[in-house]
Amino acid sequence: MSGVFQPHLLSGKAAYVTGGSSGICLGIAQLFAAHGARVGIQSRNREKLDAAVAALGPHASGYAADVRDFDATAGALAAFAATGPIDILVCGAAGNFPAPVTAMSANGFKAVVDIDLLGTFNTCRAAFELLRKPGASVISISATHGSHPYAAQAHVCAAKAGVDMLNRVLALEWGPAGVRVNVIAPGPVDGTEGMRRLAPTAEARAEVARNVPLGRFAAIEEIAEAALFLSSPAAAYITGTILTVDGGVSLNGGRFLARG
């Protein structure tokens, strides 16, 4: 439960979260469920999905589908919508591995761009008619990679820059329907697969923390609280924005990863 917000901010609402079986997006699903939302989560891995749904409680359901597959994602969203109207969409499924361009195959680049960017497009495109109503909220989880270049992250940087721009276009197109569309750009977040891959040693973690003005990683819950804010009536006039939640690391030229 959030330490900042009063409980039940999302009572009577339903949220669909891709990538919701682990990491930041599981944290978002947990916080939304704690605030009274019905939650549907989508993930590729059936085992992780089942474990997450069990942890989320009786008002949660899970859908096994790859966001790269439009038809599978549309089918999963339709199955969740059959249980009641959708109010909130969180596009969070993502992939990453550190590799310089010379060690990255075309398929490796494509795998990440397809999960992060095409997957976000697929999810938003398939969900729009299901959540189209004033007050609906769409959030995509980007990263400071969308605005800062990092060595060994060409695929993620390109994909997240695309996610940031896609969401600004969607905010323009869907604003007249009353649907708000925003991005959260986290910096380094503790307890995520991404940071396990990018900073696998104690030394690497310390180097990351040294470059963050606030001097530490974010907790998953701190990203979830930003998502809760953006999905709540407190953000009713906010659309098309990128909410950076990075402890100030992007002020530092975003320098917290390997510089090549």
**Least distance (Å) between residue 252 CB and ligand COA:** 20
Q: Would you say 86 or 95 has its CB closer to ligand COA?
A: 95
Helices (H), the chain: 23-34, 46-56, 70-81, 106-113, 119-131, 154-174, 193-198, 202-210, 220-231
Q: How far is CA 227 from CA 32, 91, 243, in A?
A: 9, 11, 9
CB of 91 to ligand COA, least distance (A): 13
Is 97 an interacting residue with respect to ligand COA (CB under 6 A)? Answer: yes
State which residue, 115 or 212, has the beta carbon closest to ligand COA: 115
Identity of the residue, 115 or 118, whose beta carbon is nearer to ligand COA in the bound complex: 115
Pick the stretch among 45-53, 55-63, 77-85, 89-97 that binds ligand COA (CB under 6 A): 89-97
Q: Which amino acid, residue 216?
A: R
Question: C-beta of 178: minimal distance to ligand COA in Å?
Answer: 31
CB of 107 to ligand COA, least distance (A): 4
**Is the separation of the CB atoms in 59 and 93 below 8 Å?**
no
Residue 36 touching ligand COA (CB under 6 A): no
At position 122, the amino acid (one-letter code) is: N
Structure token pair of residue 144: 């400071």
CB 182, min distance to ligand COA, A:
19
We find the least distance from the C-beta atom of residue 24 to ligand COA, in angstroms, to be 8
102 near ligand COA, rule: CB under 6 A: no
Site for ligand COA in 162-201 (CB under 6 A): 193-194
Residue 105 interacting with ligand COA (CB under 6 A): yes
Interacting residues of 195 by C-beta distance below 8 A, sequence separation 6+: 188, 189, 205, 208, 217
94 binds ligand COA, rule: CB under 6 A: yes
Query: For 60, how many CA atoms within 13 A lie in the half-sphere containing its CB?
Result: 24
Which are the contacts of 205, defined by CB distance < 8 A and separation ≥ 6? 195, 199, 217
Total residues contacting ligand COA (rule CB under 6 A)?
15
Compute how many other C-beta atoms are within 10 angstroms of the C-beta atom of residue 173. Answer: 12
Check residue 104 for interaction with ligand COA (CB under 6 A).
yes
Binding site for ligand COA (CB under 6 A): 94-97, 99, 103-105, 107-108, 111-112, 115, 193-194
